[in-house]
Amino acid sequence: MLLGMSESCGDRDGGGTNPFDAWLEAVALALVVVLPITLWPLNNFRFEEAKAYLFHACGMAGGLLLLARWIADAPWRRVERRLGREGGWMIVAAAAFLVSQGISAALAVQRSHAIYGAPGRGGGLLTMLSAGILLATTVTIGRRPGTVRRLLEAMSLGSLPPLLFGLMQCLGHDPLGIGTAAHQDRIGGSFGNPIFLGGYLALLLPLTVWLAVEHARASARRKAALFGLLAAMQAAALWCSGSRGPLGASIVGAGVALLLLLLARGRRRLAGGLAALGLCGLLGALVVFHQCVAAPLLQHDSHACGDRFNRAGSVLVRLHIFRAIADTMSDRVPLAQNVDPANRDPHARLRPWLGYGPQNLSAITDRHFPPELLRLEGEQRVIDAAHNFFMEVWADAGVLGVGTWLLLLLAAMSALLAALGLGAERGKWLYRTPLLLMAAAGALLATACWGLWAWSLGLSLGLLAGWLLVILLAAFRGD
């Protein structure tokens, strides 16, 4: 989505001729092609560390090239014009998010993990900084004709090696013998974990479908067939990964994209009707979730909850993780430092607002580890992931981090609506307001009904309801 929006911003600028743009494009192309197949065959096939090193190296190289480019381009002459564009505002919002992560990393319980990532894993401030540089690179070079299309094609074609790897695993042939018994029949490809492969494919699948459609419209039949086949392989691998979160996100994202496409094509009545049905379906899903999951959980009847909804217990594991994080973030008793138990956390009062630092979950949730989670997870008494993006951001960077991320989401939404011809200057806030109100209402209602652990679920569902309401409003207004 960000790549597509940067292209729309670039088309209005008339294209760029800065010589550094070619180098920036080369770094971006190398990253999107090589990153999916990067792994370290020594030391038991580590995946995340090797990918993180490459990502950091490309991010730092891109940062130096961006600095040189902006110096050569005299940005002080154009800053006002650029910040008026959607791409510029995304860079500003991303910078604000990075600042919030930097503040939390400076005050982190385990500062080395917050900056460089936990051992054996990616993440950390350096990874987020590299991602911010990649966003700025994309927005900057997106003004060159054809650049974004080349990046999208490289990203889609770069998925072919992990796709083939994963499909071979699905057929029972693991070329490197790196499949784990814990994942059973789920495939992880060159990512080493089914959820990582699923998330990667969930992001790429709509881009590949768009490329196939665009080539078909341009009568490039061979390219259309190639990307169509690639999209089918991505969908098959996504299904075989068994990653329900990415699969559900793909389905919901495809539904919202279809409604936006109907709006852009003038089918407003149909889009509005489907959006209204989506809102009713979302309300019904909330009622089912409350009756089958939330209510038994609040009554401390986890067995009934598991029997009614998910016998495998994976849903319960995530809900208990949410409760552990919420209890940790709301605990006013200072956290003892792991290195020196006598050393109390001097920033305890700031933690709900500024967080504990990236990649610090395993160091902060031990004292609120739920006994029921220990029964479900066996002997593993470690929470290393929140399994919910907003909950993870809250633990990492507090309320400040969540707020700046929502600012970035709002900037991306404005760019998308502008690219579709919706939300002109006179009506921008008319479309932004429902999204913000529904997100806030969802978070508050979930917290009031189920507890502090549920605010992130309410926020996510509120954002989805906000999108549906925006589509319904656009269809009703007819502008």
Q: What is the pLDDT of residue 301?
A: 54
Indicate the burial class of 452 (C-beta count within 10 angstroms; 0-12, 13-18, 19 or more): middle
pLDDT at 327 over 50: yes
For residues 15-24, average pLDDT: 71
Q: pLDDT > 70: what percent of the chain?
A: 81
Rounded to an integer, the average pLDDT of 16-24 is: 74
pLDDT in tens, 140-154: 787 666 788 888 899
The reported pLDDT for the residue numbered 239 is 92
Q: How far apart are CA 355 and CA 104, in angstroms?
A: 6
Q: Are 260 and 471 in contact (CB under 8 A)?
A: yes
Residue 361 CB partners (closer than 8 Å, separation 6+): 325, 383, 384, 385, 386, 392, 395
Check if the beta carbon of residue 125 is closer than 8 Å to that of residue 103: no
Whether the pLDDT of residue 307 is over 70: the answer is: no
Please answer whether residues 73 and 65 qualify as being in contact, where contact means their C-beta atoms are separated by less than 8 angstroms: no
DSSP, res 356? S
Confidence of residue 341 (pLDDT cuts 50, 70, 90): low
Q: What is the DSSP letter of 344?
A: B
pLDDT at residue 83, as a whole number: 44
Q: What is the pLDDT of residues 94-128, one digit of tens each?
A: 999 999 999 999 999 889 999 998 877 778 999 99
For 193-235, the pLDDT digits (tens) are 888 899 999 999 999 999 999 999 988 899 999 999 999 999 9
Range scoring the smallest mean pLDDT among 4-18, 107-121, 157-171, 465-479: 4-18
Mean pLDDT, rounded, for 277-294: 88
User: Residue 401's pLDDT is what?
Assistant: 95
80-99, pLDDT tens digit by residue? Answer: 454 445 567 788 899 999 99
Please give the pLDDT value at position 343: 61
**Residues 144-147: contacts with CB within 8 Å, 24+ apart?**
144/10, 144/15, 144/16, 144/21, 144/25, 145/15, 147/7, 147/10, 147/21, 147/25
Looking at residue 176, what is its pLDDT? 67
What is the band of 337 on the pLDDT scale with cuts at 50, 70, 90? low
Cα dihedral sign, 87-88-91-92: negative
pLDDT score, position 141: 80
**Taking the model in full, what pTM does it have?**
0.86
Which residue has better confidence, 417 or 320?
Answer: 320
Summarised one tens digit per residue, pLDDT across range 385-441 is 888 999 999 999 999 999 999 988 888 887 777 777 765 555 555 666 777 788 888
Which residues is 336 bridged to in the sheet?
344
Is the pLDDT at 257 greater than 70? The verdict is yes
Residue 344 and residue 336 in contact, taking contact as beta carbons nearer than 8 Å: yes
In whole angstroms, give the CA distance from residue 10 to residue 86. 10
